[in-house]
Structure 1
Amino acid sequence: MSKDFSDVTGLPDDLGIGDDLARAEQQLTVRVESRRYGKPMTIVEGFDDDSVDLPELASTLKRRLATGGTVEKKTHTIELQGDHTTRLPDVLRDEGFQVA
């Protein structure tokens, strides 16, 4: 058994509880921008720099919403093709995030 304990929870790091807490503490926002030729692009922002694996989360969101998208590493945002403002907040809450 590992003797490394989390500073936040006091529990062993092997449990991964700190990752869940990091997700729950983040306040994400979802907005839609109009891109080239008037196409909507849903932007998810508000991620901490290193606490979330953005490519993995983006892959999950794209699969659950059946859409394309990308991760913008410079701005720490996820961009999804189309307007997903009605379904995306529920999907993010299912993943353990707070959505404004």
Structure 2
Amino acid sequence: MSNDLNSIAGLPDDLGIGDDLARAEQRLSIGVDRRRYGKPVTVVEGFEPGAVDLEELASTLKRRLAVGGTVTEGRIELQGAHDDRLRAALEAEGFSVDA
């Protein structure tokens, strides 16, 4: 076991608790925008820079919801309107989502 302590949790980094706490402390917001030809795009914002690997999280969400999407300017954009399903998926990943 390593002697490196996490700055957030004060516990060894090997436990991974700092990552869980960093996720729980973020307050995310979900919104639906309309793009070209009126197509809906669900946008997740409010990520702290560097606290989460957005590419990895976006990949997980795209697989779970079976949709396409991208990471742009510190936010995740998913094709279609997925408010409720996305909220549940983010909470399952340990994030807090504003109403």
| Unmatched runs of 5 consecutive residues or more in structure 1 | none
Q: Which amino acid aligns with 1:26?
A: Q
CA displacement, residues 44-97 of structure 1 (integer Å, 9 cap, x when unaligned): 00000001010100001001101000001xx21000000001211011000000
Structure 2 counterpart SS, 1:29: strand
Distance 1:51 1:57 in 2: 12
Deviation at 1:98, TM superposition (A): 0.2
Task: Select which of 58, 71, 76 maps to 2:74.
Answer: 76
Aligned residues: CA RMSD: 0.7
Query: Partner of 2:92 in structure 1?
Result: 94
Structure 2 counterpart SS, 1:79: strand
Identity %: 65
Distance 2:23 2:7 in 1: 16
Deviation at 1:8, TM superposition (A): 2.2
Deviation at 1:3, TM superposition (A): 1.1
TM-score (structure 2 length as normaliser) = 0.95
Q: How many residues align?
A: 98
Q: Which amino acid aligns with 1:91?
A: A
TM-score (structure 1 length as normaliser) = 0.95
Structure 1 counterpart SS, 2:56: helix
Q: Which amino acid aligns with 2:91?
A: R
| Unmatched runs of 5 consecutive residues or more in structure 2 | none
Query: Partner of 2:32 in structure 1?
Result: 32
Distance 2:26 2:40 in 1: 25
Distance 2:32 2:43 in 1: 6
Q: Hey, which bits of structure 1, 4+ residues long, moved more than 3 A?
A: none
